[in-house]
Structure 1
Amino acid sequence: MKIIVEAKVDIDPARRAEALDRARPWIEGAQAQAGCLGYFWTADPHHPARIHVFEEWESADALAMHLAGPQYRGMLGHISQFGLTNAASRKFAIEREGAVYNAAGVASAEFEPAP
């Protein structure tokens, strides 16, 4: 079962660009880990202090390996250097997934039956 992690991290707005630039090795390291399907940090254009983190892992085991490893610990050490003021993260276990656009090409909240 896939796992999605989303986080909101607030740091000193004057240092956000530097923090994101210097995070590149931590981001790329996480992206290279076994079971990582996506790992991204992005600046929120509407909140000058906020960084959004999105992670997609192929399984809970893959996420567990990441959380126990040096990439995760390094990221925590990295971001704490930039005036961390708030952080909140959540994880989601994905039971189903599907395309946003259905077979007719219309955006839909419904899940189409599995083939």
Structure 2
Amino acid sequence: MALIAIEAAIRINDPAQRDAAVAASIPFQKGTRDDEPGCLVYCFAADPVEPDLIQVYELWEDEATLAAHFEHPNYHGMRDLLGKFGLKSAVSRKLRIDKTAPVYGPDFKATASFD
């Protein structure tokens, strides 16, 4: 079984509305986290550098739980909500994760290796 990650960049037409869009999405974010089996992470957050950008990070137990999310009212509600704020662009991708390892070893040194 492989974890599935989604990362996305959503740009709002009016940067002054970005924070309102993120705040309005909180019920859908919480609902997805609380009510959808297999959801490990679901975060739509304001980018600290680019004022029109919402960064998205999701982590799912497997393809089946992600597929169920795409049919869930939380998913459809989030899409509808963000659309009301006017999207300049949205780019996303999913990644299948077949191996994980800690970033830091027992010596507290970061390593890029999976060994």
For the aligned pair, the TM-score class normalised by the smaller chain equals over 0.9
CA distance in 2, matches of 1:69, 1:13: 29
Q: Alignment partner of 1:77: what SS?
A: helix
User: Which sections of structure 1, spanning at least 5 residues, go unmatched?
Assistant: none
C-alpha RMSD of matched pairs (Å): 0.9
TM-score calculated relative to the size of structure 1: 0.93
Structure 2 gap segments, 5+ residues each: none
Separation in 2, partners of 1:22, 1:75? 9
Q: How many residues align?
A: 112
Moved over 6 A (4+): none
Tell me the distance in 1 between the aligned counterparts of 2:23 and 2:107.
41
**Any idea what SS the aligned residue of 1:39 has?**
strand
**Quick one: distance in 2 between partners of 1:70 and 1:7?**
20
1:47 aligned partner: 50
Q: Give the counterpart of 1:16 among 13, 18, 39.
A: 18
| Cα deviations by residue, 1:52-97 (Å, 9 ceiling, x for unpaired) | 0100000110000001111111110000011211000000000100
Q: Following superposition of structure 1 onto structure 2, how do residues 53-64 of structure 1 map, counting pairs within 5 Å?
A: 53-64=56-67
> Normalising to structure 2: TM-score of the pair?
0.93
**Identity rate of aligned residues, in percent?**
39
CA distance in 1, matches of 2:10, 2:55: 6
